[in-house]
Structure formats: C-alpha cells, structure tokens
C-alpha cells in the first residue's frame, strides 16, 4: 500500500487478529492473502471501468451534468470497497458495503433514467445528486481520518462459543430453516410470540450463514458440510420467496456473498451467473403472481405445492410484460434494479423541502429512543418500528394513516436526513455512520469472531446493506438482532455451561 492509500485509509498496527476457530483473518497465509487481494482489486477496477464506460455511453439523462454526477456517485461508492480489496487482510468491510449500496440505490436510477424522475425538473435532480455526493464525500473523508486502538480487555478478546464451531453453525442453519418453513406454511407459532421467536431464529441464521460462507471463502469449511450448507440455504431462500416477497431471500443470499468475499477476497462467479438471472425472472413475474394470489385470493401453496408454484412463477416471469410481449432476463434485471432505487424518493423530498414544506427538525429521529424500550414498560402506545417511515410517507403525501398499516414505502437514511435538517443533516449522517463504523471495526480488530464484538460485527455486516430503512427502524431492528444473537451464547456459556 502506498503512502497516499495509507493516509486515506490508515490500518492499525494490530489490525489483523490472531487465528481463532478457523475464522480469523490470518487463517490465510500472508502470500495467499496478498495474491487474493491483488486479484480482487484488479477485478474491482475492471468492473468499475466497464460500468463507467457502459453508463457513459448509454446513460438516459436529461442534463449532461447528471451524467457526470452519476459517474461520480459510482466512484464514490466503489472507492472504499476497492481500498479494502487491495489490503491483504480479511477485516470486515462493514462501512465499505454500506457505501457500495449507493450504486444501485442512487447512481444507477439516475443514469438509467428511472421512470419516476421524469416528473421532476432538472434542477431538483441536480440538487438531489449533490446531496448524495456530499454524503459520500463526508462519509469517505471521515472514515479515512478516523482511527481507534484495538481493545484487548477480556470482553473484547474472549470467545463466547467454544468447541467445534462447525457443529453449532450447522445446528443454527437447521433452526432457521425449520423456522422459515413453519412460518411460511403453518400458523403454529402464536402471534404474541412471533416477534421474539423471529428475532432469535433469524439472528442465529444470520451468524450461521455468514460464518459458514466466510469459512468457505477462507477454505476452512469441511467439504462434506458445503453440500449441507448449500441445501439449507436454498431451502431458506425458496421458502422465503414462496410468500411472494423477494427481499427476505435476497438478504440471505447477499449475506452469504459478503461472508464468502470477506473471508477469501474472491468472487463466486459461477453462483452469481446462475442465481442472478433466476432472481431477475422471478422479479419479472412477481406482479402477475401477486395479482392472482393476493388480489385474486387464490390459495397460497402448501409445502408440497411449492414446485408447481415456482414453475408457474417462472412461466410468468419469462413471458409477461405490460404489452404482452416476451421479456428477457436482462430487461427483468433492470426492473429489479429500479425497485431498489431511493433516488426518486430523495428527489421528492428535495423538491418539496423547504420550498413547500418545512424541515421536520428531527421529528422522525424522536422515535429512536422508544425502540430500545421493551413494550412491557412502554405500554400499548409504543411507536411501531416504522413510525419514522410512516410519518415521512404521510408528510409528503404518499400515504394516509390507513395505508401505512398495510404498506411501507422505503425512504432511506439520506432522504430522512434531508427531510429533517437539509444538507446539514445529510453531511452529519455521513460523518456519524463513518465515524461509528470505523471506531468499532478498529476496536474489535483483535477480537475473535466468536467473541461478543465479533458477533456484533457479523450483525453490522448484515445491516450495512439495509439502507432503505429510516434511523428508528434501522437501529431498532439492529438492537433486536444483537440481543437475540448475543443472548444465545450468553445462555449457553453462563446457564448451560457449554
């Protein structure tokens, strides 16, 4: 790493943890890690260059300045990930993944000519793009100049799960797979218990999926466990998709991808080539399936009817289009990217605020403290996790009170920050997230992955690409996941004596 890179992204001297349970960042030899990092960095540079050239030639923008803004967004989102890829270590790229989501949520909708951008004047789009660039600039700068010393106290250095970790991870996958099947096809779990059970099962699933994927990337996952892992991962994704919601299954797949890449600095090309077209086709046929099974009240499939259900879904995805013509998977893929857009929402907020509607002055952030108070103490008036999102939807005229109980519109952290405090809020958001992520990652640099800080890092990794939430929902769900994930080893260690 040259001096310029050291200044931008300084690495603590003790950043590389000691190998622990086959999951530490030094499980790969230094030479092998350096080679893997070089290959991943080169692949990233090529992908970035190809992406920039593609959109430079095909961008659908009304103002030429929007082309340059969109390309700068891609560079600003990719830069931290490229610097992480070049380093010969397997430090968790939590902040890097957070920034990388800016490509599909902001840059591609702008460059691809998202259909809802047509209703906004060029100046509004320009102002929204400047918001994103300001957020990226301040976040990247703050991350570069922030550092922290690794913690070495027992809390930060002690493993909370001992023994054969592969066994525990296998059991964790089974628990989550069974839960996904039960919640998707039965009503066995009482409604009052659904929240706690979901938190525990999905929390355990997050850790199990990420760590086994990371072990696979590092080359430490036993061969006989790879087949079991893939089988259970496929079941979880299939059961999740069977509810006609793609986001749950996509999150599982994204988490597995992040674990594999962070562990071995390698990209699983073949699985991506297989999985991405399938997801694009399913997304393309989703509307027809929802019309039939949701609006038309057709009975949802039983577990034995899942194969026929997906066969029908694939048929709709390959043949359906608004004008009745056949659509290919590349067009379906572009529609999928459109659905992840947050840029058109940011344009709405920028267009209305403060010219027609005043800044909220922190109103949506006032819902954050209540998310850390158990309902038992708060009472029946506790705000729901998406209270901030609902308030924004009503404030900007997208929904009324009744509609918010049925559908949640994604606003994202940047739009929320602007709605509350304008450009100052956007800059403060970028600085706060970068500072907190960098500090915690540096503090836990020497922590075994199976320590409490290591497990928190795994959860942060899972939440780093959940940028469609507002702050109250993001922090509230993160807190619940931490309590569930950290509570399991606490019980095993202090009560069961394992």
Cα–Cα–Cα angle for 282, 284, 288, rounded to 5 degrees: 95
Q: What is the pLDDT of residues 7-35, one digit of tens each?
A: 444 444 444 444 444 444 444 456 777 88
Q: How many residues does the chain have?
A: 498
Q: What DSSP letter does each residue of 171-220 carry, written as one string? A: HHHHHHHHHHHHHHH---S-HHHHHHHHHHHHHHHHHHHHHHHHHHHHT-
pTM: 0.85
CA distance 339 to 334: 9
Which H or E run contains 94?
A: helix 94-100
CA distance 10 to 300: 53
Q: For residue 406, name the pLDDT band (cuts at 50, 70, 90).
A: confident
**CA terminus-to-terminus distance, the chain:** 43
**pLDDT recorded at residue 53:** 97
**pLDDT recorded at residue 484:** 84
Q: Which residues contact 203 (CB under 8 A, 6 or more apart)?
A: 459, 480, 481, 484, 485, 488
CB-based contacts of 149-153 (< 8 A; 24+ apart in sequence): 149/12, 149/442, 149/443, 150/12, 150/14, 150/15, 150/442, 150/443, 150/444, 150/445, 150/446, 150/447, 151/443, 151/444, 151/446, 151/447, 151/453, 152/446
CA nearest 419: which of 399, 394, 402? 394
If you average pLDDT over residues 270-286, what whole number do you get? 91
Cβ atoms < 10 Å from Cβ of 274: 10
CA distance 477 to 389: 14
Residue with tokens 């460059």: 111
**pLDDT recorded at residue 492:** 63
CA nearest 242: which of 286, 196, 284? 286
Residue 306 has pLDDT above 90, yes or no: yes
Residue 323 Cα to chain centre, angstroms? 33
**pLDDT recorded at residue 2:** 44
Mean pLDDT of the chain: 85
The radius of gyration of the chain from alpha carbons, rounded to an integer in Å, stands at: 23
Domain extent for 425: 1-498
Which three-class secondary structure string do you get for 234-252?
HHHHHHHHCCCCCHHHHHH
Q: How many domains does the chain have?
A: 1
Cβ atoms < 10 Å from Cβ of 403: 14
The burial class, CB within 10 Å (0-12 / 13-18 / 19+), for 94 is: buried
Q: What is the pLDDT of residues 378-390, one digit of tens each?
A: 666 778 888 999 9
**pLDDT recorded at residue 32:** 75
Cβ atoms < 10 Å from Cβ of 118: 9
Q: What is the pLDDT of residues 189-203, one digit of tens each?
A: 887 677 778 878 888
Say whether 340 sits in a helix, a strand or coil. Answer: coil
If you average pLDDT over residues 361-383, what whole number do you get? 83
Say whether 125 sits in a helix, a strand or coil. Answer: helix
Q: For residue 467, name the pLDDT band (cuts at 50, 70, 90).
A: confident
């Amino acid at each position: 790493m040259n001096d310029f890179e050291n200044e931008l992204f300084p690495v603590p001297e003790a950043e590389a943890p000691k190998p622990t349970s086959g999951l530490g960042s030094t499980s790969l030899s230094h030479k092998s890690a350096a080679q893997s990092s070089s290959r991943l960095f080169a692949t990233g540079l090529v992908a970035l260059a190809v992406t920039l050239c593609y959109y430079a030639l095909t961008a659908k923008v009304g103002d030429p300045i929007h082309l340059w803004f969109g390309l700068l967004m891609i560079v600003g989102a990719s830069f931290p990930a490229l610097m992480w890829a070049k380093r010969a270590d397997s430090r968790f790229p939590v902040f890097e993944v957070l920034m990388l989501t800016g490509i599909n949520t902001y840059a591609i909708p702008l460059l691809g000519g998202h259909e809802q951008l047509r209703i906004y004047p060029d100046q509004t789009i320009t102002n929204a793009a400047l918001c994103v660039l300001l957020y990226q600039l301040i976040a990247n700068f703050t991350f570069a100049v922030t550092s922290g010393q690794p913690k070495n106290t027992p809390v930060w250095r002690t493993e909370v799960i001992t023994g054969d970790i592969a066994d525990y991870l296998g059991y964790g996958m089974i628990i989550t797979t069974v839960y996904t099947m039960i919640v998707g096809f039965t009503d066995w779990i009482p409604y009052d218990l659904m929240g706690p059970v979901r938190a525990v099962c999905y929390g355990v699933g997050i850790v199990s999926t990420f760590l086994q994927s990371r072990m696979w990337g590092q080359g430490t996952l036993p061969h006989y466990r790879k087949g079991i892992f893939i089988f259970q991962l496929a079941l979880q994704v299939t059961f999740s998709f069977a509810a006609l919601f793609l986001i749950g299954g996509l999150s599982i797949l994204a988490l597995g991808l992040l674990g594999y890449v962070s562990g071995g600095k390698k990209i699983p090309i073949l699985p991506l080539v297989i999985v991405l077209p399938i997801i694009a086709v399913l997304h393309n046929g989703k509307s027809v399936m929802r019309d039939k099974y949701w609006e038309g009240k057709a009975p949802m499939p039983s577990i034995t009817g899942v194969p026929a259900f997906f066969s029908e879904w694939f048929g709709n995805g390959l043949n359906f289009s608004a004008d009745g013509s056949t659509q290919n998977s590349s067009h379906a893929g572009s529609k999928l990217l459109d659905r992840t857009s947050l840029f058109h929402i940011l344009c709405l907020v920028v267009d209305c605020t403060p010219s027609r509607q005043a800044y909220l002055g922190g109103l949506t952030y006032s819902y954050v403290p209540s998310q850390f108070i158990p309902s038992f103490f708060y009472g029946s008036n506790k705000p729901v996790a998406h209270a901030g999102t609902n308030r924004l939807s009503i404030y900007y005229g997208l929904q009324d009170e009744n509609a918010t109980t049925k559908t949640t519109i994604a606003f994202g952290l940047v739009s929320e920050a602007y709605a509350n405090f304008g450009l100052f809020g956007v800059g403060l958001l970028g600085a706060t997230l970068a500072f907190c992520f960098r500090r915690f990652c540096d503090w836990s640099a020497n922590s075994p992955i199976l320590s409490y800080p290591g497990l928190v890092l795994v959860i942060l990794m899972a939440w780093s690409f959940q940028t469609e939430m507002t702050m109250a929902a993001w922090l509230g769900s993160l807190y619940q996941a931490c309590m569930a994930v950290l509570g399991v080893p606490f019980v095993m260690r202090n009560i069961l004596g394992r």
